[in-house]
Every structure is written in C-alpha cells, then in structure tokens.
Amino acid sequence: MFSAKLHFANAKSDLKADQASLKAEWQNKASGYYVLPDSQDSLLGDLEVFAKKVQAFETIVVVGIGGSSLGAKAAERALRHLPQRNSKQLFFLENGDPIELENVLQKINLQRTLFLIVSKSGGTIETTSIFKLLLSKIGQNAVDSGCADQFVIITDEGSPLDSMALNNQMTRFIIPKNVGGRFSVLSAVGLTPLKLVGYDIAKMLQGAKTVRDGFFASDPLQISAKAAAYAAGKPINTLFAYSNAFEEFVKWYVQLWGESLGKLDKKKARVGFTPIGLIGSVDQHSFLQLIMEGPLDKSVTFLKVGDFRRNLTIPSISLPGLEKNDFVNNASFEKLINAQADATLEAVNSVGAPVDELVIEKLDEFHIGGLFFYYELLTSLVGVKLGVNTYDQPGVELGKTILAKKF
Amino acid sequence: MFSAKLHFANAKSDLKADQASLKAEWQNKASGYYVLPDSQDSLLGDLEVFAKKVQAFETIVVVGIGGSSLGAKAAERALRHLPQRNSKQLFFLENGDPIELENVLQKINLQRTLFLIVSKSGGTIETTSIFKLLLSKIGQNAVDSGCADQFVIITDEGSPLDSMALNNQMTRFIIPKNVGGRFSVLSAVGLTPLKLVGYDIAKMLQGAKTVRDGFFASDPLQISAKAAAYAAGKPINTLFAYSNAFEEFVKWYVQLWGESLGKLDKKKARVGFTPIGLIGSVDQHSFLQLIMEGPLDKSVTFLKVGDFRRNLTIPSISLPGLEKNDFVNNASFEKLINAQADATLEAVNSVGAPVDELVIEKLDEFHIGGLFFYYELLTSLVGVKLGVNTYDQPGVELGKTILAKKF
C-alpha cells in the first residue's frame, strides 16, 4: 500500500477543517477530479469495446501537450515494465520541434497508427498544427475524406474539435468540463492511451479512490499536516524519487504544483512554490550539493518503491584497491538504491531542511493511481490555504496573444 | 555561430577584471577545463585508433553517474539526428535501479558490447556495483580472466580503477586530475563515447575554443555582464531551451550550476542558486504560469536553435471552428517553435523577470561544444563573484558515510 512519514515538526493543522474545505470543492464542483475514481463506469465500458475494435493498430500516437500528455507519459514510464503492457508502440507528439516530429514520423507506419488528438479547449496551437501535418501526411486534406477512423478526439464537449468529431463520425471521448488538464490523468485523457497499451485502468482508479477515501476518513498519509507545513514553508519543493521509473512522474508533479499554486492571490499578491523533480541516486551526483550547502530554501520529499520485484544482486566480487566498496556485496540493487534514499534523507535532515518520505509498495497501476491522487489532494489543500484558484492558469494567455502577432 | 542578448539592464561588470580572474584560474590550474579545447591532440589520435579497433562492437554502454554521464548524454541527445551518427546503440547505466538495469541488459548482446567504466575517483559505489554485475554476467569473476578487452577504464591517473586497468592490460583513458566531473565533458569522459558513436569531436573542441577565446578577447556573448547580474540576482535561474534536443543538456546545466555554486562561502554562509531546466514549448504548458504570476524569484534564459535544417511546414488546412489558428498555416514548424520562444520571452519580460536569450546557429558538434564552454565560463565567473570553490562538492560526503552504515 502507501505509507508516508513526516520528519519535520507538524505544522498546526486541522484535519476536520481541511477535509471540509476539500469536500466543499468536491460538492460545489470547483473541480471534477474528486469524482473521477468512481464515476466512470460508462467510460471504462466504452474503452473496453474500443480497445478491441482498434487492436490491429500497431502504434498509438498521442498528440497533445501539457495536461494532455504529462499524465499518460508519467504512468507509461512508471509501468512499462509490467507484463500486461502490450507490444504497441506509444509516442507523444507535444511541441512543434521539427527534428522530433520527423523522427517520430520516420519510426511509425502511418497506416497502422491510431492518433489520439487531445486538447481540452480544442484549440491548442501545437496540437492543431500537428493534426494538420498528420492529415496531410496520410494523404488527406480534411477529416471527412476517409481517414477519420485513424483519429480519435479527446476534448471538452462542445469544443471545435468535438464538433468536428461529431460531424465526421469520429470516435470521441469527452473530458468533464470542470476537470482541468493537469488534473485529468484519471479521465479519458490519461485512461484512453493507457488502456490501449494494455494497462488495468480500473486498478488505477481503485488506487486513487483508496487514497481519496483515506484522506476523507482519517488521513493516514498526513496530507493535512504536510499541506499546513508546505503552505507556510520553503519557496522550493523538491521531489527526490528513487527509481528511473519516476522520470516522467516528476514532470507531471512539476506541472501540477507549479501551475496550480503559482498565482495572484485574492489580494493580487504573487504566491506559489517552485517544484523540482529529481531522480535518485542520479541527482545525488548533481543537485544534492546545493541542498546540503546552498540556501536553506528547499523542502525535500523522498519517494521510494517498497518492492521493485526484481532479484538482482551485487555479486561478491572484490575489485583490487576498492575493497571499501565491498559492503554492498551480496546485497540487492534494490537495497542499494533504497539505502541511498534513506542515507540521503538523513543527511538532508541533518542540515535542517524539512524532509518527508513517501513509499509505494509496488510500481503498478493501483499505486500509480494512488500517487497521482495523493499529489492532487495535497495541491488542492495548499491552494485552499494560499487562497488561490488552484484550477485556472490565466498567466499563460499573454504569450499566446503575442504569438499571433509574430506571423 | 553563437549570439546572445541580455534584456535586463547590465549590472556593473568589469570585463578586464573578469577576464583576469578566469585567466588566473587557468594559469594557477584551479581547474584544467580551460585548456581542454586545444591541449588534447594526443587523446584525439588515440581515440581515432581505438575507434577503429573496436568498430565491431555493436553497442556502447557507459557505466558512470553524474559528471561521468551527463555531458555525453547531453551531446548525444542534442546531436543524434546528425548523419555522421553511426548505427551503434549507446546506453548509460547510472544508478542501481534494478528495473532499469534489467531492461538494458535485456536489450543488448553482452558479447558484442563495449563497456566504458567511468569514475573520476575510481570508487563510485553505483559504478563499481554495476561493474561487478557486468563482470559476473559475462561469466567472469575478475577482469583478469579474459574479458578485459570488453571493458575500457576512464578515470584519474593512479586511482584504484587505473591500477586495475594497468595490471590487466585494459584500455584506459585518463581524466586530468584538475578537471572535475561536471567540467569533464570535453575530456576523455565525454569524448570517448561520443567518438565511438561517430561524432566529430575535434569540431566540438573547436566550438569550445571559439567561445573561450571570444571571452578572453572581447566577450561578444556578454558573459561578464550576465555573471554580474546573476551573482547579485534572483535565487532561481531557469534555462528555457526551445528544442527537445536539449532535454539532456538542461540536466547537465542543472548539475554544473547547482553543484558548482551551492556552497559555503569563505564566511561559511550558504550561497548558491537553484537551476531549473525547461523545454519549450512543452513547459509553457507546465511551468510558465508560475513564472508569470508566482513570486518574482526567477531569471529566465531562452535558448534557441537558429536553423533546425528541417523543411517541415504546417499545411494550409482550415479546421472548422478553429480558423483562429490558421495564422500559422504555411509557416514552418521551426518558425512556430522559435516564435513561441520570442513571444514567451516578451511575456516574461513584461512581468519584470530578468530575461536573456542565447541562439546557436545549428545543432552540431561545433555549437554544442561552444554551448558547454559558455556555461562553464559563466559558472566559473559567478563562482569567483560568490567567493566559493567552484570545483569541489564537499556536501555530498555525509550521505556516503551514512550509506555504509545501512549495510
């Protein structure tokens, strides 16, 4: 299951009040993510049927950026070692980098590829531009000329993309209106690609439900205490995740935390915290020095995997002159990486940085679903304490307005 | 070539004094990286011969972490689209993540793989543990039993790994003593794997030399002014790089900046700056909101590629309901991504964050070599201004000491 331990003095937190705050957001539908774990039976049924219908496609390409790609990428990277992952290739086309676009187009067989066009608003410039490129590559200049069955639309009901899908009998999956991009991994946005490559998405929702219901019962993961400390705490919040499987998860965290909380508050003051994603033990050789001796402006969360389910042992070989390293001989690599997490936690704790640890038992759908929800709840609660709108992103509009003038 | 533009009022900087400071480091050999661009003819000759000798190996695996891997990874990711990149696979084994280790071991043919064991000290726990695993997998329990020709040692002269290499007639390449890991990409550490997969490493050194000599002549890239502003500036320094090709380069930057400057200064005060690497336009949909409306604690550097050398045009297709996006039709994807950089720069500049831009003409060896050296010079100069030892990392030792007690 999940476990969490805070190594800093608990900030004053009021669990009942915190539960009431988030329950209010749930009930007044400030965000629809609260209900995703147990309100999507119809979508699950549709995806079951759809996955069978499109099983002949050998490649899935998600065309989407930001909240339309980061969640599925995070889950895929964390889970791709599981046996249920089928053999389909999965690519993500996010920005307009021409080298990247050419690279992916060269790797895939266009005729055997299913494209998921994902855009909540339906109007993301990168996504529509790549969509146009794909239409032209497939030899069509419009969706109504025969290639509609290679494109799936995932968008808000009533968006321009949604209308296009309806007018051309394309498959479409709807994102609930009040589920923003960065909170959408457990909606059709994340579940569709993850189902198509073989994951058990129902278990992902079960993990999320377990974490959600735990918070509203007794908060065993101490989300309330952590949110109180973080809302009044350090300006930089690092997540030090001890497995390469979390490489994309930490990017999902960066978006969730940065974009949800970096806001003007009710008094128009600039608030928010800077998220940083690190991978252990790699970044012990990169970022740790700064944590240890630089400004004490960072909290550090250590995320560990309880059981990697791999028996890979460090052989009992003594390299001449390197006998000092023989203390790890006969131990598992799993023990090494987790002991590095523990040792680094102690070292960071000793210099006075607030540290906490989070352990998921296994890298599977249930636990990744729960991990997503843990961070969503934590983000919502800190947002309440900061007095910001956790679910919008007004600051990105100016750049879009300027962009149009560059052409 | 390279160009740079600062959009903030120049901090008071004294170019002559700055040139003298770094020239002093060069001459007193505080770091040996200054001489790497034009002192390695002998290594280049050795690598030319060695590359021919080992050309039958189909896979190269670098076993190394931190400064032993990040530079080569950054160059490989930035350059892998070039036609001179040969067909050899290149993997990096960094930490002890057991899933990652198994994954790479499953992908390679052990007998046809050349392993580069890279450790400056020769005693990095991750590297020696993986080295032991590889020895046992190849069916040997020691390097002296016949598999020595599959392992190349890259380390400091006189280190335990160096002695082992000498005693077993293994190929070895020496890292200059006064070139630290994070400044070692242009030494044997980076040049060896990059040569073996086909890159023109002499051009990489030429690019570095051009940037170095430019600084000591007239500083056309305004490194002096930027260092002055940064040393007295924001606590967080983001690098927003507009190409997926920079995905690993920004991680190299994070190590260089964080580990070099995050230090106790001469008065034992904690100093340093927090580096953050971002990819455009992807992270406009992730981190930009925080820059625009969160605390004004960040500088932002926009890194662009002048010419992607790809002709990929956004087709002139009008999607119904999305005519507002037709302003990009017939433009190249290159124009889109670079216009997004320019538009985002203007937006970020408008809220008062210090911004500057850096353009490299092309993604090739010359320009990546220059880019490495640009950041190394900037780091050294800010280090001088902070009064820290830019080249050590004492803060990481405590964790290593604690680790040994966990076994």
Per CB-CB distance under 8 Å, the chain B contacts of A70 are 286
Amino acid at A191: L
Q: How many of the other CB atoms lie within 10 Å of CB of A182? A: 28
Tell whether A44 and A57 lie within a shared domain. yes
Give the long-range contacts of residues A213-219, CB within 8 A, separation 24 or more. Answer: A215/A19, A215/A22, A215/A377, A216/A19, A216/A22, A216/A23, A219/A15, A219/A18, A219/A19
pLDDT tens profile B155-181: 999 999 999 999 988 999 999 999 999
pLDDT tens profile B37-68: 999 999 999 999 999 999 999 999 999 999 99
User: Domain end: A199, A230, A249, which one?
Assistant: A199
Q: Which of A95, A276, A294 sits opposite B262 (nearest CB)?
A: A294
Tell whether B271 and B285 lie within a shared domain. yes
Nearest to A33, CA basis, from A246, A152, A192, A175: A175
Q: Could you tell me where the beta strands, DSSP code E, fall in B164-296? A: 171-175, 236-241, 263-264, 270-271, 274-279
Please identify which of the residues B285, B324, B405, B406 carries the catalytic annotation. B285
The confidence score (pLDDT) of residue A140 equals 66
Share of chain B above pLDDT 70, in %: 98
| Local confidence band at B140 (pLDDT 50, 70, 90 cut-offs) | low
Q: Are residues A289 and B396, on separate chains, in Cβ contact within 8 Å?
A: yes
The confidence score (pLDDT) of residue B191 equals 98
The confidence score (pLDDT) of residue B183 equals 98
For residue A194, give Cα distances in angstroms to A75, A81, A245, B48: 8, 13, 16, 46
Prediction ipTM score: 0.97
Q: Is the pLDDT of residue B12 over 90?
A: no
pLDDT tens profile B223-265: 999 999 999 999 999 999 999 999 999 999 999 999 999 999 9
Q: Is the pLDDT of residue A148 over 90?
A: no
B103 sits in which H/E element: helix B98-107
Q: Which of B279, B328, B407 sits opposite A125 (nearest CB)?
A: B328
A400 domain residue, yes or no: no
* Annotation marks residue B7 as catalytic: no
Distance from CA of A261 to the nearest CA of B (A): 7
Give the domain CATH number at A330.
Answer: 3.40.50.10490
Tell whether B187 and B249 lie within a shared domain. no
Q: Could you tell me where the beta strands, DSSP code E, fall in B287-349? A: 298-305
Range of the domain at B185: 31-199
A405 domain residue, yes or no: no
* CA–CA dist A110, A124 (Å, integer): 23
User: Domain end: A199, A216, A240, which one?
Assistant: A199
Q: Is the pLDDT of residue B94 over 90?
A: yes
The confidence score (pLDDT) of residue B325 equals 97
pLDDT tens profile A273-324: 999 999 999 999 999 999 999 999 999 999 999 999 999 999 999 999 999 9
Distance from CA of A321 to the nearest CA of B (A): 5
The confidence score (pLDDT) of residue B371 equals 98
Tell whether A225 and A146 lie within a shared domain. no
Nearest to B122, CA basis, from B182, B71, B174: B174
* CA–CA dist A151, B392 (Å, integer): 54
Q: Is the pLDDT of residue A143 over 70?
A: no
| Local confidence band at B142 (pLDDT 50, 70, 90 cut-offs) | low
| Mean pLDDT confidence for B308-318 | 95
| Mean pLDDT confidence for A130-137 | 94
The confidence score (pLDDT) of residue B11 equals 72
Distance from CA of A227 to the nearest CA of B (A): 18
User: Domain end: A199, A219, A251, which one?
Assistant: A199
Q: Are A356 and A345 in contact (CB under 8 A)?
A: no
The confidence score (pLDDT) of residue A402 equals 97
| Mean pLDDT confidence for A225-250 | 97
pLDDT tens profile A252-265: 999 999 999 999 99
Tell whether B193 and B332 lie within a shared domain. no
B125 domain residue, yes or no: yes
Tell whether A226 and A125 lie within a shared domain. no
The confidence score (pLDDT) of residue A370 equals 98
B58 domain residue, yes or no: yes
Q: Is the pLDDT of residue A1 over 90?
A: no
Q: Count up the domains in chain A and report the number.
A: 2
* CA–CA dist A341, A281 (Å, integer): 7
Average pLDDT of every residue of chain B: 96
Per CB-CB distance under 8 Å, the chain A contacts of B402 are 342-343, 346-347
B46 domain residue, yes or no: yes
* CA–CA dist B385, B24 (Å, integer): 14
* CA–CA dist A343, A75 (Å, integer): 28
A168 domain residue, yes or no: yes
| Mean pLDDT confidence for B376-402 | 97
Q: Are residues B270 and A296, on separate chains, in Cβ contact within 8 Å?
A: yes
Tell whether A152 and A239 lie within a shared domain. no
| Local confidence band at B146 (pLDDT 50, 70, 90 cut-offs) | low
B404 domain residue, yes or no: no
Q: Are residues A320 and B284, on separate chains, in Cβ contact within 8 Å?
A: no
Q: What is the pTM of this model?
A: 0.98
Q: Is the pLDDT of residue B35 over 90?
A: yes
Q: Are residues A340 and B310, on separate chains, in Cβ contact within 8 Å?
A: no
* A321 CB burial (10 A radius; 0-12, 13-18, 19+): middle
Q: Is the pLDDT of residue A131 over 90?
A: yes
For residue A283, give Cα distances in angstroms to A198, A401, B67, B76, B261: 32, 37, 10, 19, 16
CA dihedral over B266, B269, B270, B271, signed as positive or negative = negative
| Mean pLDDT confidence for A119-148 | 85
Q: Are residues A396 and B284, on separate chains, in Cβ contact within 8 Å?
A: yes
Tell whether A67 and A182 lie within a shared domain. yes
The confidence score (pLDDT) of residue A141 equals 62
* Annotation marks residue B157 as catalytic: no
Share of chain A above pLDDT 90, in %: 94
| Mean pLDDT confidence for B191-206 | 98
Distance from CA of A286 to the nearest CA of B (A): 4
Q: Is the pLDDT of residue A145 over 80?
A: no
Best to test chain B binding among A291, A317, A393 (most B CBs inside 10 Å): A317
Tell whether B157 and B249 lie within a shared domain. no
Q: Are A32 and A176 in contact (CB under 8 A)?
A: yes
* A1 CB burial (10 A radius; 0-12, 13-18, 19+): middle
The confidence score (pLDDT) of residue B148 equals 74
Q: Are residues B286 and A396, on separate chains, in Cβ contact within 8 Å?
A: no
Q: Are residues B399 and A272, on separate chains, in Cβ contact within 8 Å?
A: no
- A194-216 per-residue burial string, b: 16 or more CB within 10 A, e: under 16: bbbbbbbbbebbbbbbbbbebbe
Q: Are A202 and A51 in contact (CB under 8 A)?
A: no
**Catalytic residue positions of A?**
259, 285, 400
Tell whether A158 and A208 lie within a shared domain. no
Q: Which of B272, B288, B342 sits opposite A396 (nearest CB)?
A: B288
A65 → chain B, closest CA residue: B282
Tell whether A8 and A78 lie within a shared domain. no
Tell whether A145 and A222 lie within a shared domain. no
| Local confidence band at B103 (pLDDT 50, 70, 90 cut-offs) | very high
A406 domain residue, yes or no: no
Share of chain A above pLDDT 70, in %: 98
